[in-house]
Amino acid sequence: MEVDHKEKAACMNAGCSAVSWETMDGKHLWGRNFDFNRLAKGTNVFFIPAKTPYQICPEEEPTGKGDRERKTIYGIIGIGVSLSLDCPIFYEGMNEEGLMGGQLYYREFADFSRKTNEERTPVAPPLLVTYLLATCRDVGEVAREMKENIQLAMQPIFGSVPPLHWMFTDKQGRSIVIESRKEGLFLYEDAMGVLTNSPGYDWHCTNLLNYMHIRDEDYGKRVINSHVLNPCFSGSGALGLPGDCSSPSRFVRLAFLKEFMQKGRNEEEGVAGLFHMMGHVSFPAGLVKVGQIGEITEIEEGLVPYDYTVYTAVMCAESLSFYWTTYENQQIRCVDMRTLLQDRRKREFPLKEKAEFCRLS
């Protein structure tokens, strides 16, 4: 089990991109890419109903002994890693009230409290997504929990404390970014609905000043030293838009894609469009080489020497539909949480990484 735990801890260190969006008929969507070079054994799509026990700050390996335990107020659907207990650790997800969000890697900047505050509830960083989706109806309640009740604790899970920051969106279209650094806790309550990895959210927003010239309209004819330059290709309005896989570049691309991409008229068109948007910030296997892979164990047979977009998840706050694709299988799959809420049993759905093709002949 020790190797298994180490693998699960490593998968919490994945890079990512996330964005909120909405459709022309008022549907609110949230999507994310999960970028890493592996996927922990036991990672799947999970649904848990209300009143499911869950952990917030285990004092030791999660055996069920000595853990601080709560029960969920709301049902949750999302992708996470299964433990021996009732509730998985969610990387991202959505609850039955339409609150959506997830965790993203925040290397070199994340810092959490080492002191105990008896007036606050200690939450281990990888368990914050589960806690907030289990407890909060909307972004306003997320902000209140973070300001008044929660202490992000330097509590190891599987032997490490992954550096994380978070983004949440609700069905009113409000977004919040949560970052904990040495200087303290930072909440960006009027967030623009875009998040990638390090540096922090405020740095990324300031960096957009370097790309103020980008627009959706081509630049026209210019005369330079009496020489007439006539445009001979389309897309010149986006010249200079960065195309690499770095976190700053992905943030810039998502910010302008969200601004200019045509919104879907309904949920189906919006979801399809959001998958296209996330494709513009995805990692193809082979483009981002991992410098130090480490020991490859039996459990890590699927490990590759490249970071790549392991999966993409998209969800809708109004319909409570959860969509996903994997790197190997680009067919969009969907689970309707409204149906699961009627049954109120814990459910697990495989990611089904094997490719599926629609053969017409």
List active site positions.
Answer: 16
Q: CA-to-CA distance for 203 and 187, rounded, in angstroms?
A: 14
Q: b vs e for 117-129, b when ≥16 Cβ sit within 10 Å of the residue's Cβ?
A: eeeebbbbbbbbb
Report how far residue 148's alpha carbon sits from residue 284's, in angstroms, rounded to the nearest whole number: 42
User: Token pair 């694709």 is at which residue?
Assistant: 325
Contact 321, 21 (CB under 8 A): no
> What is the distance between the alpha carbons of residues 151 and 179, in angstroms, rounded to a whole number?
12
Distance between CA atoms of residues 55 and 72, nearest Å? 10
Residues contacting 191, CB < 8 A, separation 6+: 167, 175, 176, 177, 201
**Residue 75 in contact with residue 99, Cβ under 8 Å?**
no
If DSSP codes are grouped into helix, strand and coil, which group holds residue 115? Answer: coil
Q: Which residues pair with 314 in a beta bridge?
A: 31, 323
> What is the rounded CA–CA span in Å between residue 183 and residue 16?
24
SS3 for 277-313 is HHHCCCCCCCCEECCCCCCCCHHHCCCCCEEEEEEEE
The answer to whether the beta carbons of residues 118 and 108 sit under 8 Å apart is no
